[in-house]
Amino acid sequence: MSTADHRPTRADAARNREQLLAVATRVLATEGAETSMRAISREAGVGIATLYRHFPTRESLVEAVYSDQVERLTTGARALLAQNPPAEALRQWMDLYGGWIATKSGMLDTLLAMVESGDLAHAKTRDEILAAISTILDSGAAENALRSDVTALDVSASLIGIFTVTRQAGGAVRTDRLLDILLDGLRPQRHPRKDADHDHPGSDDDERVAR
């Protein structure tokens, strides 16, 4: 390995990489798979050579965007919990998840090819996301703010369903409304009925009359 390999990344190079990732994430989410590498470099304000220096292939850029989004989801769960009550943290995390779904759909063909070739560890990503959801659910259950009988897989499946339906509906269905409804369903029941007598408030009187 050459001495150059040990040199620290220059600040401007690091900024260029972060800018490229941010632009690629936004563009892939809005414009999809047809976006060219040149268009991404142009919007990021860097030359195409700079883009290829950081990401030699489209696949390497897609993998970097994908990994960055997953990292934001996993660290985001802990950060949101540190700043918000569990239910609110979960609701905000749902929006992060929605952004990840939108970005992923814009590079789906490339991702599928990478998963099929073994270049992308899909199972590992899935486990990391489920662990992030579990972190919030466990905290919520401990505070009786979220139901204890709901699993991370339940939430993940529900979110995928919501974002799929709203995308197909083309704006006819409000995503935020469905996410709010989902969160309401994840809250514990506040006033459970303690016994059957509450279902029949007149039963005691009826029994006394019968005697």
- Kindly list the distances between the CA atom of residue 107 and the CA atoms of 26, 59, 92, 104, in Å, as whole numbers in the listed order: 12, 10, 24, 5
Same domain, 32 and 126: no
User: Would you list the DSSP string of 112-148?
Assistant: HHHHHHTSS-HHHHHHHHHHHHHHHHHHHHHTTSS-T
Same domain, 183 and 96: yes
Same domain, 34 and 91: no
190 pLDDT higher than 80: no
DSSP state of 50: H
Same domain, 70 and 51: no
What pTM was estimated for this model as a whole? 0.75
Contact 41, 58 (CB under 8 A): no
Same domain, 95 and 51: no
Round to whole Å and give the CA distance between 116 and 138.
34
Same domain, 52 and 62: no
Q: What would the pLDDT profile of 133-185 be if each residue is shown by its tens digit?
A: 999 999 999 999 999 999 999 999 999 999 988 888 776 678 999 999 999 99
Q: Where are the alpha helices (DSSP H) in the chain?
A: 11-31, 37-44, 48-54, 58-83, 86-106, 108-117, 122-142, 152-169, 175-186, 203-210
Same domain, 120 and 23: no
Q: What would the pLDDT profile of 106-143 be if each residue is shown by its tens digit?
A: 787 777 787 777 777 777 888 999 999 999 999 999 99
Same domain, 92 and 175: yes
Name the residue range of residue 30's domain: 11-56
Same domain, 41 and 144: no
When divided into structural domains, the chain yields a total of 2
In CATH, what number is assigned to the domain containing residue 65? Answer: 1.10.357.10
User: Tokens 């897989």 — which residue?
Assistant: 153
196 in a domain, yes or no? no
